[in-house]
Amino acid sequence: MAHIEGQDRNQIMLLPESIEEFVTEDNPVRAIDAFVDSLDLNQLGFKQAEPIIMGRPAYNPRDLLKLYIYGYFNKIRSSRKLMKECQRNIELFYLLRRLTPDFRTIADFRKNNAKALKAVFREFVGICLAMNLYQKELLAIDGSKFRAVNSKSNSYNKETLIKKLVRIEEHISRFLEEMDQLDETEPQEHKLSKAELKERI
Protein backbone atom coordinates (compact mmCIF):
# COMPACT_ATOMS: atom_id res chain seq x y z
CA MET A 1 0.00 0.00 0.00
CA ALA A 2 1.39 3.45 -0.92
CA HIS A 3 1.75 6.49 1.33
CA ILE A 4 -0.50 9.52 1.07
CA GLU A 5 1.09 11.83 -1.47
CA GLY A 6 1.01 15.63 -1.47
CA GLN A 7 0.57 17.77 -4.57
CA ASP A 8 3.46 18.43 -6.91
CA ARG A 9 4.94 21.84 -6.04
CA ASN A 10 5.30 22.71 -9.72
CA GLN A 11 1.73 21.72 -10.60
CA ILE A 12 -0.10 24.62 -12.22
CA MET A 13 -3.72 24.89 -11.09
CA LEU A 14 -6.40 25.48 -13.70
CA LEU A 15 -8.57 27.24 -11.11
CA PRO A 16 -6.28 28.71 -8.45
CA GLU A 17 -7.38 28.44 -4.83
CA SER A 18 -7.94 31.70 -3.01
CA ILE A 19 -6.31 32.53 0.33
CA GLU A 20 -9.84 32.96 1.70
CA GLU A 21 -10.33 29.18 1.39
CA PHE A 22 -7.36 28.43 3.66
CA VAL A 23 -8.68 30.47 6.62
CA THR A 24 -11.60 28.89 8.48
CA GLU A 25 -14.69 30.90 9.40
CA ASP A 26 -13.90 30.76 13.15
CA ASN A 27 -10.23 31.72 12.79
CA PRO A 28 -9.26 34.59 15.17
CA VAL A 29 -7.58 36.51 12.32
CA ARG A 30 -11.05 37.27 10.97
CA ALA A 31 -11.90 38.97 14.29
CA ILE A 32 -8.63 40.95 14.18
CA ASP A 33 -9.42 41.99 10.61
CA ALA A 34 -12.96 43.14 11.47
CA PHE A 35 -11.84 44.95 14.65
CA VAL A 36 -9.07 46.94 12.95
CA ASP A 37 -11.26 47.77 9.93
CA SER A 38 -13.83 49.30 12.30
CA LEU A 39 -11.31 51.74 13.84
CA ASP A 40 -10.86 55.39 12.86
CA LEU A 41 -7.06 55.54 12.68
CA ASN A 42 -6.98 59.33 12.23
CA GLN A 43 -8.91 59.86 15.43
CA LEU A 44 -6.66 57.40 17.30
CA GLY A 45 -3.58 59.34 16.17
CA PHE A 46 -1.86 56.91 13.81
CA LYS A 47 0.73 58.52 11.57
CA GLN A 48 0.23 58.25 7.79
CA ALA A 49 -3.39 57.15 8.22
CA GLU A 50 -4.14 59.12 5.05
CA PRO A 51 -2.15 58.13 1.94
CA ILE A 52 0.52 60.60 0.85
CA ILE A 53 0.22 62.30 -2.55
CA MET A 54 3.89 62.43 -3.51
CA GLY A 55 6.81 60.07 -3.02
CA ARG A 56 6.92 56.35 -2.40
CA PRO A 57 3.66 55.03 -0.93
CA ALA A 58 3.86 53.85 2.68
CA TYR A 59 2.29 50.73 4.13
CA ASN A 60 -1.25 51.26 5.32
CA PRO A 61 -1.09 51.61 9.13
CA ARG A 62 -4.24 49.48 9.25
CA ASP A 63 -2.25 46.52 7.84
CA LEU A 64 0.67 47.05 10.22
CA LEU A 65 -1.73 47.33 13.17
CA LYS A 66 -3.28 43.99 12.17
CA LEU A 67 0.21 42.47 12.09
CA TYR A 68 1.07 43.96 15.48
CA ILE A 69 -2.14 42.63 17.10
CA TYR A 70 -1.59 39.22 15.48
CA GLY A 71 1.91 39.15 16.97
CA TYR A 72 0.56 40.11 20.39
CA PHE A 73 -2.02 37.30 20.37
CA ASN A 74 0.55 34.75 19.18
CA LYS A 75 3.35 35.89 21.52
CA ILE A 76 5.59 37.07 18.68
CA ARG A 77 7.36 40.18 19.97
CA SER A 78 10.33 40.49 17.65
CA SER A 79 10.00 42.51 14.42
CA ARG A 80 12.27 40.04 12.63
CA LYS A 81 10.08 37.11 13.67
CA LEU A 82 6.97 38.99 12.55
CA MET A 83 8.67 39.61 9.19
CA LYS A 84 9.42 35.87 8.85
CA GLU A 85 5.82 35.01 9.70
CA CYS A 86 4.64 37.39 6.96
CA GLN A 87 6.67 35.36 4.48
CA ARG A 88 5.44 31.90 5.51
CA ASN A 89 2.25 32.08 7.56
CA ILE A 90 -1.03 31.54 5.70
CA GLU A 91 -3.00 33.46 8.35
CA LEU A 92 -0.86 36.53 7.71
CA PHE A 93 -1.18 36.01 3.94
CA TYR A 94 -4.92 36.42 4.54
CA LEU A 95 -4.68 39.23 7.10
CA LEU A 96 -2.17 41.38 5.18
CA ARG A 97 -3.19 40.32 1.66
CA ARG A 98 0.32 38.88 1.05
CA LEU A 99 2.17 42.03 2.06
CA THR A 100 5.62 41.35 3.50
CA PRO A 101 6.96 44.43 5.32
CA ASP A 102 10.56 44.22 6.50
CA PHE A 103 11.51 44.26 10.18
CA ARG A 104 12.55 47.93 10.14
CA THR A 105 9.13 48.98 8.86
CA ILE A 106 7.42 46.93 11.58
CA ALA A 107 9.69 48.31 14.34
CA ASP A 108 9.35 51.90 13.11
CA PHE A 109 5.56 51.59 13.03
CA ARG A 110 5.55 50.54 16.67
CA LYS A 111 7.96 53.32 17.72
CA ASN A 112 6.14 56.03 15.75
CA ASN A 113 2.66 55.04 16.95
CA ALA A 114 3.20 54.01 20.59
CA LYS A 115 0.47 56.36 21.93
CA ALA A 116 -1.97 55.32 19.22
CA LEU A 117 -1.38 51.64 19.97
CA LYS A 118 -2.32 52.26 23.59
CA ALA A 119 -5.45 54.06 22.39
CA VAL A 120 -6.43 50.96 20.38
CA PHE A 121 -6.81 48.98 23.59
CA ARG A 122 -8.99 51.71 25.07
CA GLU A 123 -11.05 51.74 21.86
CA PHE A 124 -11.61 48.00 22.24
CA VAL A 125 -13.22 48.53 25.65
CA GLY A 126 -15.38 51.30 24.14
CA ILE A 127 -16.56 48.99 21.35
CA CYS A 128 -17.46 46.33 23.92
CA LEU A 129 -19.53 48.91 25.84
CA ALA A 130 -21.22 50.13 22.64
CA MET A 131 -22.15 46.56 21.75
CA ASN A 132 -23.59 46.08 25.26
CA LEU A 133 -21.11 43.35 26.09
CA TYR A 134 -20.66 45.04 29.48
CA GLN A 135 -23.97 45.74 31.20
CA LYS A 136 -24.15 48.51 33.79
CA GLU A 137 -27.17 47.06 35.53
CA LEU A 138 -27.98 45.17 38.68
CA LEU A 139 -29.59 41.81 37.98
CA ALA A 140 -31.50 39.87 40.66
CA ILE A 141 -32.79 36.38 40.00
CA ASP A 142 -34.60 35.66 43.25
CA GLY A 143 -34.45 36.43 46.97
CA SER A 144 -32.13 33.58 47.91
CA LYS A 145 -29.14 34.42 50.07
CA PHE A 146 -25.82 32.67 49.63
CA ARG A 147 -22.62 33.04 51.55
CA ALA A 148 -20.24 34.98 49.30
CA VAL A 149 -16.90 33.49 48.41
CA ASN A 150 -15.09 36.62 47.36
CA SER A 151 -11.84 38.10 48.58
CA LYS A 152 -11.05 41.79 48.86
CA SER A 153 -8.78 41.47 45.83
CA ASN A 154 -11.78 40.44 43.69
CA SER A 155 -14.08 43.26 44.85
CA TYR A 156 -13.82 46.36 42.69
CA ASN A 157 -14.85 49.92 43.31
CA LYS A 158 -14.09 52.96 41.15
CA GLU A 159 -10.67 53.58 42.76
CA THR A 160 -9.63 49.93 42.34
CA LEU A 161 -10.65 49.97 38.69
CA ILE A 162 -8.61 53.15 38.08
CA LYS A 163 -5.58 51.48 39.70
CA LYS A 164 -6.09 48.42 37.50
CA LEU A 165 -6.27 50.61 34.38
CA VAL A 166 -3.01 52.29 35.39
CA ARG A 167 -1.37 48.85 35.82
CA ILE A 168 -2.64 47.81 32.38
CA GLU A 169 -1.16 50.99 30.87
CA GLU A 170 2.17 50.17 32.58
CA HIS A 171 2.00 46.61 31.23
CA ILE A 172 1.44 47.89 27.68
CA SER A 173 4.35 50.33 28.02
CA ARG A 174 6.60 47.57 29.36
CA PHE A 175 5.55 45.29 26.49
CA LEU A 176 6.42 47.97 23.91
CA GLU A 177 9.80 48.58 25.59
CA GLU A 178 10.57 44.83 25.56
CA MET A 179 9.80 44.71 21.85
CA ASP A 180 12.16 47.64 21.22
CA GLN A 181 14.91 45.95 23.25
CA LEU A 182 14.43 42.69 21.32
CA ASP A 183 14.81 44.55 18.04
CA GLU A 184 18.04 46.17 19.23
CA THR A 185 19.63 43.00 20.65
CA GLU A 186 18.61 40.58 17.91
CA PRO A 187 21.60 39.63 15.73
CA GLN A 188 21.62 40.37 12.01
CA GLU A 189 21.02 37.24 9.94
CA HIS A 190 23.21 36.34 7.00
CA LYS A 191 21.01 34.92 4.23
CA LEU A 192 22.62 32.06 2.34
CA SER A 193 22.32 31.92 -1.42
CA LYS A 194 21.19 28.73 -3.18
CA ALA A 195 24.80 28.04 -4.16
CA GLU A 196 26.00 28.38 -0.54
CA LEU A 197 23.22 26.09 0.67
CA LYS A 198 24.11 23.42 -1.90
CA GLU A 199 27.77 23.75 -0.95
CA ARG A 200 27.00 23.14 2.73
CA ILE A 201 24.78 20.16 1.97
Each residue of 151-169: pLDDT tens digit?
A: 776 677 888 888 888 888 8
pLDDT at 77: 87
More confident position, 44 or 187: 44
pLDDT at 136: 58
**Interval 134-143 mean pLDDT:** 55
Residue 134 has pLDDT above 70, yes or no: no
Of 107-111, 114-118, 181-185, least confident by mean pLDDT is 181-185
Report which of 158, 153, 151 is spatially closest to residue 136, judged by C-alpha positions.
Answer: 158
pLDDT at 64: 95
Contact 83, 106 (CB under 8 A): yes
Residue 83 has pLDDT above 80, yes or no: yes
Give exposure, 152-186, as e/b (b: 16+ Cβ within 10 Å): eeeeeeeeeeeeeeeeeeeebeeebeebbeebeee
Measure CA 122 to chain center: 15
